[in-house]
């Protein structure tokens, strides 16, 4: 029995033309593919199942789907059946090989005898030990919204192919069913590739940990400014990691091979700051028994990091301004001029604009330093980064102390997320070091926290017992948000965490806390 079906036009084909007749087995295969795509689940898994169905029902030996890069026109192999592509990066340029030609032109292509087809590249190597003369190859575009989004290709045993046009029509029908899924998969992969690129450019240092939005923005700014000579002024409270950011900028700059000289302006007495920065001659002042190179001279060809630059004296500010303007200075007690090639990164926890208003800091120096300002977020504004940092510090100190501590209890997670952290990352690190030292097992409990955090944990317990309607409403809203994300992701907690802008660890804890049964969101088999 054969049945006619109406198929929308391909690129270049007249719309509404009846171009294929499918028998019962072919229609059953199309129905099976449509059923697979209608079920919730991961796109890649659905497409793989569809290719398996084509193999089982239509005798396809190998099937492959390549996605099209909208910008470059390049097609890259994404899903395959009967071909092991794990760890392979197979791509086809526009017009390159049969796949590249179909991607470029939008016209189906078929070859009755692969042994006679010079354009067939076999980039996967799946057919190198086979007799290609026994194989036929079919390749059709996948079209979504009148635009080519991918390519579907398959090969079959040549003696089983009676009519190439009929085979192409069948494969085109499958491509139409796959179009929406392949379009979504292409967008998914494009986003993943972009995130990888952004991730590489936005992770300036392995020392800096952070997945929160504010930290990702900071990483982007560091990536922008690092490979330049622009002067950077880092604004941030004590303990936010200003030194780590300065180090990351230097390591990602063209001055990497030069020195990074760090100066804590607040730790040097006012009477010695000029000597420290610019050096001195022998006899320049009482006790100057030797000539000494200053920190600026030591930093020649590299970077100097002036931490707490707001603590500089008025006279040191004048000299620093001259270095910024003229790239030269005179050591204390000397008439010689020292020329230096130094990139300046400064940092402060003071409000320098306010200091300018009171006359404590020079306005002209501020504007010279503040060419590229970076503002470091407070730890309490970094959300789930707190637990990431806590885990990192636990691993660090457990290794140093030779202990088996690996986990944080749910109660401790609650306290860490609710505490305001006035001392920022430095306070969190000290807290975790103490906790690892006190822990007897593999888990950090509230008893191992400093007294201020233990008191907060007890307050939290009291509030939880008497939270009343407000607490219930807050929990209901949180439960609704988490359940909505789980429903959207088919119960996948990692993807739900991404949607909600947090980590899988936090989501797992809140799921346990709120008593949510995740099994109800999993796809029914």
| SS3 per-residue string spanning 151-210 | EEEEEEEHHHCCCHHHHHHHHHHHHHHHHHHHHHHHHHHHHHHHHHHHHHHCCCCCCCCC
The C-alpha atoms of residue 66 and residue 75 are separated, in whole angstroms, by 6
- Rounded Cα gap, residues 26 and 28, in angstroms: 5
Q: Which of 420, 437, 465 is the last residue of a domain?
A: 465
> Tokens 């002067």 identify what position?
231
Residue 192: the pLDDT is 62
Structure tokens at 239: 């303990």
> Lowest mean pLDDT: which of 79-93, 262-276, 391-405, 424-438?
79-93
Split at pLDDT 50, 70, 90, the class of 342 is very high
pLDDT class of 14 with cuts at 50, 70, 90: very low
Q: Per the domain annotation, does 166 fall within a domain?
A: yes
Q: CB–CB of 211/503 below 8 Å? A: yes
**Does a structural domain hold residue 90?**
yes
Q: Name the least confident of 92-101, 280-289, 385-394, 506-515.
A: 280-289
In whole angstroms, how far apart are CA 407 and each of 398, 414, 441, 461, 466? Answer: 11, 14, 10, 21, 29
Asked if residue 420 and residue 325 are part of one domain, the reply reads no
How would residue 36 be classed by pLDDT, with cut points 50, 70 and 90?
confident
Same domain, 306 and 253: yes
Whole-angstrom distance, CA of residue 330 vs CA of residue 322: 10
Asked whether residue 245 falls in the same domain as residue 257, the answer is yes
Task: Give the residue, 478 or 170, on which the prediction is more confident.
Answer: 170
Tell me, yes or no, whether 459 lies in a domain. yes
> Domain span at residue 496?
469-521
Q: What separation in angstroms does the CA of 7 have from each of 12, 18, 171, 370?
A: 14, 7, 12, 64
Give the pLDDT band (50/70/90) at residue 1: very low
**Is 204 contained in some domain?**
no
Most confident of 180-184, 198-202, 255-259, 509-513: 255-259
pLDDT at residue number 18: 41
Same domain, 239 and 333: yes
pLDDT at 246 over 90: yes
Tell me which residue of 458, 460, 461, 454 sits closest to 435, measured CA to CA: 454
The angle, 0 to 180 degrees and rounded to 10, between the axes of the packed helices 385-401 and 424-438 is: 40
Asked if 190 and 243 sit in the same domain, the reply is no
Please indicate whether residue 231 or residue 187 has the higher confidence score (pLDDT): 231
One-letter-per-residue 3-state SS of 411-477: HHHHHHHHCCCCCHHHHHHHHHHHHHHHCCCCEECHHHCCHHHHHHHHHHHHHHHCCHHHHHHHHHH
Q: Report the domain count for the chain.
A: 4
Q: Same domain, yes or no, for 219 and 356?
A: yes
The lowest-confidence range among 106-120, 138-152, 282-296 is 282-296
**pLDDT (average), residues 62-74:** 83
pLDDT mean across residues, the chain: 80
Tokens for 57?
A: 């029902």
Rg (CA), the chain: 32
- Does residue 422 sit in the same domain as residue 488? no
Tokens 């809140």 locate to 510
Per the domain annotation, does 205 fall within a domain?
A: no
Q: Same domain for 174 and 42?
A: yes
> Degrees (nearest 5) of the Cα angle 461, 465, 468?
130
Contact 195, 51 (CB under 8 A): no
- Specify whether 174 is located in the same domain as 286: no
% of residues, the chain, pLDDT over 70: 85
Where does a domain end: 169, 195, 221? 195
Which among 388, 313, 299 is positioned nearest to 344, based on CA atoms? 299
Which of 35-44, 197-206, 462-471 has maximum average pLDDT?
Answer: 35-44
C-beta separation of 234 from 345 below 8 A: yes
402 Cβ neighbours under 8 A, 6+ residues apart: none
Tokens 């020079």 correspond to 362
The CATH number linked to 436 is 1.10.8.60
Tell me, what CATH number does 46's domain have? 3.30.450.40
Q: Per residue in 143-199, pLDDT tens?
A: 988 889 899 988 888 888 878 888 888 888 889 888 888 888 777 776 665 554 444
* Token representation of residue 364: 């002209």
Is 103 in a helix, a strand, or coil? helix
Whether 148 is in a domain gets the answer yes
Is residue 521 predicted with pLDDT exceeding 80?
no
Q: How confident is the model at residue 490 (pLDDT cuts 50, 70, 90)?
A: confident
For residue 300, tell me if it sits in a domain: yes
What lies within 8 Å, CB to CB, of 220 at 6+ separation is: 198, 201, 202
Question: Are residue 100 and residue 236 in the same domain, yes or no?
Answer: no
Domain-embedded: residue 206: no
């Amino acid at each position: 029995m054969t049945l006619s079906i109406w198929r929308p036009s391909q690129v270049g084909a007249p719309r509404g033309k009846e171009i294929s007749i499918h028998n019962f087995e072919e229609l059953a295969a199309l129905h099976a593919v449509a059923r697979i795509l209608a079920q919730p689940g991961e796109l890649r898994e659905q497409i793989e199942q569809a290719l398996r169905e084509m193999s089982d029902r239509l005798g396809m030996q190998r099937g492959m789907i390549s996605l099209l890069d909208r910008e470059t026109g390049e097609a890259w192999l994404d899903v395959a059946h009967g071909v092991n592509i794990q760890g392979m990066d197979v791509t086809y340029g526009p017009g390159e090989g049969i796949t590249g030609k179909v991607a470029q032109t939008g016209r189906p292509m078929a070859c009755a005898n692969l042994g006679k087809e010079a354009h067939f590249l076999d980039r996967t190597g799946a057919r190198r030990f086979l007799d290609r003369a026994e194989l036929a190859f079919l390749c059709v575009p996948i079209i979504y919204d009148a635009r080519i989004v991918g390519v579907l290709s398959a090969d079959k045993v040549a003696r089983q192919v009676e009519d190439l046009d009929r085979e192409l029509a069948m494969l085109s029908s499958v491509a139409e069913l796959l179009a929406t899924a392949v379009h979504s998969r292409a967008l998914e992969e494009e986003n993943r590739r972009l995130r990888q690129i952004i991730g590489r450019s936005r992770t300036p240092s392995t020392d800096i940990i952070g997945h929160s939005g504010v930290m990702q923005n900071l990483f982007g700014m560091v990536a922008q400014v690092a490979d330049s000579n622009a002067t950077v002024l880092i604004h941030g409270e004590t303990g936010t990691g200003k030194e780590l950011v300065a180090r990351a900028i230097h390591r990602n700059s063209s001055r990497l091979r030069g020195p990074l000289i760090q100066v804590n302006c607040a730790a040097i007495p006012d009477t010695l700051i000029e000597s420290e920065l610019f050096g001195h001659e022998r006899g320049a002042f009482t006790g100057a028994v030797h000539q000494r190179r200053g920190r600026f001279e030591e930093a020649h060809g590299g970077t100097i990091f002036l931490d707490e630059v707001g603590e500089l004296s008025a006279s040191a500010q004048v000299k620093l301004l001259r270095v910024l303007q003229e790239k030269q200075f005179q050591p204390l007690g000397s008439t010689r001029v020292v020329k230096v090639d130094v990139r300046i990164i400064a940092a402060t926890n003071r409000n320098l604009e306010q200091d300018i208003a009171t006359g404590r800091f020079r306005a002209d120096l501020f504007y010279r330093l503040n060419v590229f300002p970076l503002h470091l977020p407070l730890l309490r504004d970094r959300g789930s980064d707190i637990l990431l940092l806590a885990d990192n510090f636990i691993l660090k100190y457990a290794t140093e102390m030779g202990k088996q501590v690996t986990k944080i209890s749910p109660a401790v997670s609650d306290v860490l997320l609710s505490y305001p952290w006035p001392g920022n990352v430095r306070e969190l690190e000290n807290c975790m070091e103490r906790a690892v030292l006190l822990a007897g097992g593999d888990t950090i409990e509230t008893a191992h926290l400093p007294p201020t955090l233990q008191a907060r944990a007890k307050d939290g317990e009291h509030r939880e017992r008497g939270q009343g309607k407000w607490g219930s409403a807050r929990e209901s809203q949180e439960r609704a948000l988490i359940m909505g994300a789980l429903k959207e992701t088919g119960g996948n907690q990692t993807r739900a965490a991404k949607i909600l802008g947090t980590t899988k660890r936090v989501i797992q804890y809140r799921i346990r806390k709120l008593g949510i049964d995740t099994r109800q969101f999993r796809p029914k088999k």
